[in-house]
Amino acid sequence: MRLSEAVEGYLTHLAEVRRLSPATVRAYRSDLTDLVGAVGDGAIESLSVDDLREWQWRATKAGQSKATSARRTSSVRGLFSWAVEEEIIALDPSQRLVTPKRGRTLPTVATAEALDGVLEAARVRAADGDPLALRDHAVLEVLYGSGARVSEICGLDLDDMDHERRTLRVRGKGDKERVVPFGLPAEQALQAYLVRGRPVLLTRASAAAADASEPAVSRGRVVERAPRAVFLGAKGGRLGPRAVHALVSATVAPSVGAEVLGPHALRHSAATHLLDGGADLRSVQEILGHASLGTTQIYTHVSAERLREAYRLAHPRA
């Protein structure tokens, strides 16, 4: 079997059997397509560990980070492990690959005071009733208030919200469902958006649909008509992660001195502030939807760093 054919079979396995998220499958596709381009589309059984090491070495020489190298190694190992299970090959050359150790990088976290300022500014912008400003305020409040991933927030439908209990039902990695709480400020922002902002955006979507016999297209992609989606874009389709990234980068990044900042920074901040406020690690793990407690433990290091910095600045014997 040619390498490219094996790659397609493996990607199908990831999507349909293991039910990995589309974003994860795209990352695997990118890594493995690069492998095919580097070593050629010959028979998969002809590949040796030396071929794989050469592929790694070229990427490292080109400036690839240790984290990216580790991910690419994981992608290749997954491919060959699957090929052995499917009896496409007899031996797995990737077992002898060395995974580079990743350096521990603490996530970017905004202080609670900085986020208070950001969210208050968003509330003031929304006060005049502009539908996009109302939506942006609600998005920021829900991201920070729930600690959910941006894909989970963008995927919310109206019946995923329980306003009485102030909870959201979100679908995370591997299509796993969980329920996360959110606070009163997020509920107030949501209600303002749902009553005064979302109907206007939905009307725009209906008008656009009436004007076009075919689905609307934006930047080469079909805009999803989403009457049940909570958060809508300017044209009435479901709000996408890229738009949320731009919103967070424009509003939150200046508060932490960054030029660019993604929505995950609000998730990092929510987790750190929960721990700072006394939440136990297991509860934070459940809220974030981490499969492993070890993933959540990174936030204990963030809190410890903040304590050390406070000590250094305040203690006369520091």
Q: Strand locations in the chain, DSSP E?
A: 161-162, 167-171, 177-181, 217-218, 221-222
Classify burial at 145, counting beta carbons within 10 Å of its beta carbon; exposed 0-12, middle 13-18, buried 19 or more: buried
Identify the active-site residue in 267, 268, 315, 317. Answer: 267
Q: Among 175, 145, 173, 169, which residue's Cα sits nearest to residue 156?
A: 169
- The active-site residue out of 10, 28, 193, 299 is 299
Of the listed 53, 125, 171, 173, which one is catalytic? 173
Dist CA 54 CA 50 (whole Å): 6
> What span, in angstroms and rounded, lies between the C-alpha atoms of 158 and 175?
18
**Catalytic residue status for 264:** yes
| Cα gap 290→194, rounded to integer Å | 30
Active site residue 173: yes
Selected catalytic residue, list 149, 198, 238, 268: 149
Tokens (6 digits) for 43: 């028979």
| 267 is an active site residue | yes
* The two structure tokens encoding residue 268: 């990092």
Residues with active-site annotation: 149, 173, 264, 267, 290, 299
